[in-house]
Amino acid sequence: MANDIHVIRNASTIVGYDGNAQGHAYLSDGDIAFEANGFIHVGGRYDGAFTHEISGKDRMVLPGFVKVHCHSGEEPISKGLFEDEGTAALWGNALYEYSNLIEISDSAVEASLTVMLGDLMRSGVTTLVDIAGPHDSWLPTLAKSGARAYVAPGFREAAWHVEDSRRLDLIWDKGRGYEAFARALEVVDTARAHPSGRLGGIVSPSQVETCSADLLQAAAEAARNRNVPITVHAAQTMAEHEELMRRTGLTAVQYLEELGVLGEDLIIGHCIFVDGHSWTRQRTDIDLGLLAERRATVAHCPVTFSRSGMVLQSLGRYRRRGVNVALGTDSYPFNMLEEMRQAMICSRIAGRSVFDVGTADVFEAATLARRALGRSDIGRIALGAKADFLLVDLKHAAMQPIYDPLRNLLHCAAERSVDAVYVDGRPVVEKGKPIHLDYDGALAELQEAQNFAVRRLQANDPAGRPSSLLARRSLPAM
């Protein structure tokens, strides 16, 4: 098996990587050859030896997507509960008051992770970052999926508390934060040593406002000692922005800079409420310059936030200012292609122009993610790069008629046209289904988990409201 050489013959379209132009480019009617270690031939005729041949007729070969931010854990079981809810006093955001009420049983964490992975991979994700609480089935399930995955075990000292829907309080427990930090480092080290060779670790203080300055600095130091990235949620909501302004007089980006945490190895979850954002009271324009100068990466996840009426202003503007922006999905629907479409639409609305961002810009953010994970061997179809790619069915109705296949994929077809996904030259999705995971079994378990979570809502609510009031159905019962 180790010496197998696969060739995809006469692919109608290949999105290859042009090393001179340092960007993606179309190749027509060429061959691709790969082995477990990576691509050995891209474009033109392959005349070398091979063990397997696949027809590339009516297919587009695309690099796998690199998704730098999402959460398994409670997120997959929250689907359908709070999309129409929010806390008015917290700028309409549901995060602090509602997400906090979701309880997941230990037995459901594997199912939750399995469904998330299946959905991500079906939409073309080959590398992902999962920010979650560590559990025994985390690494084994990620390895089983066949995807390339980074675990980012979250830790924090303060818990969110919303009393009477009025304000966000933080309840501090420093000892617990440091204990979770130590455990997180163990998990990061275990992932990096995993025999699959496809797992990695990221040091992940959960949120900028729930960790003390000394914990954020200790986390950055631990990451830099290991030469692994750091990720933290920052500038993700107005409640957090106001909390930091009150506490430090600085925006999240400026605070991270002051602590020495802002750097090339930092991935900032969301980074929406920078000083120039129209919702903030600041009238300065410092943050984007700092992000660009320090070469930090923004993990942009437009679907979840635009659902709450919040939008980054704007993806095109960040890019023009030289900020490295990569994409994530944060929460459900865990669909990278929908996320890419929404990234484009949100950017054009926030930037008030069709010229704000192009299809190729969003595709680049979803693949190269440039400095995000500190690697140049993924998100591209090039000699020596990892054989992580997807096959798109150009004959699918949603892809017809074809003038520019990438546009059809991003603006119209999405995952409906994704036939197969490969990681390390090995299929992980076939006929649109993840093949190494029991996705259907996990779905059934997820329903049980959601029933349990709904039953526990009232007990977890500080105000003791019933679930029918907390998670109101969209239509009344007739």
Residues in contact with Zn ion by CB under 5 A are: 269, 330
Angle (nearest 5°) at CA 129 between 206 and 39: 160
The least CB distance from residue 330 to Zn ion, in Å, is 5
Pick the closer one to Zn ion by CB: 74 or 275. 74
Dihedral sign (CA 348, 351, 353, 355) = negative
Pick the closer one to Zn ion by CB: 328 or 425. 328
Pick the closer one to Zn ion by CB: 232 or 344. 232
CA distance 185 to 182: 5
The least CB distance from residue 72 to Zn ion, in Å, is 11
Residue 314: asked if its preceding bond is cis (omega within 30°), the reply is yes
The least CB distance from residue 372 to Zn ion, in Å, is 15
The least CB distance from residue 302 to Zn ion, in Å, is 12
Q: Tokens representing 414?
A: 């999405």
Centre a 10 Å sphere on the Cβ of residue 18 and count the other Cβ atoms it contains: 13
Q: What would you report as the CA-atom Rg of the chain, rounded to the nearest whole angstrom?
A: 22
**Pairing outcome for strands 158-163 and 167-172:** antiparallel
The least CB distance from residue 407 to Zn ion, in Å, is 29
CA distance 339 to 82: 19
The least CB distance from residue 39 to Zn ion, in Å, is 32
Centre a 10 Å sphere on the Cβ of residue 463 and count the other Cβ atoms it contains: 12
Name residues whose C-beta falls within 8 Å of residue 201's C-beta, 6 or more positions apart in sequence: 150, 151, 152, 153, 187, 188, 189, 190, 191, 192, 226, 228
The least CB distance from residue 361 to Zn ion, in Å, is 22
Distance of CA 119 to the CA centre of its chain: 12
CA distance 234 to 272: 8
Pick the closer one to Zn ion by CB: 242 or 330. 330
CA distance 326 to 343: 11
Tokens 């009516």: give the residue.
58
Dihedral sign (CA 27, 28, 30, 33) = positive
Pick the closer one to Zn ion by CB: 330 or 339. 330
CA distance 140 to 213: 33
Q: How far apart are the first and last CA of the chain?
A: 60
The least CB distance from residue 304 to Zn ion, in Å, is 8
The least CB distance from residue 456 to Zn ion, in Å, is 22
CA distance 257 to 295: 12
The least CB distance from residue 246 to Zn ion, in Å, is 23
The least CB distance from residue 75 to Zn ion, in Å, is 9
Pick the closer one to Zn ion by CB: 130 or 287. 130
Pick the closer one to Zn ion by CB: 69 or 436. 69
**Nearest of 29, 98, 81 to residue 465 by alpha carbon:** 98
Q: CB of 131 within 8 A of CB of 71?
A: yes
Q: CB of 256 within 8 A of CB of 267?
A: no
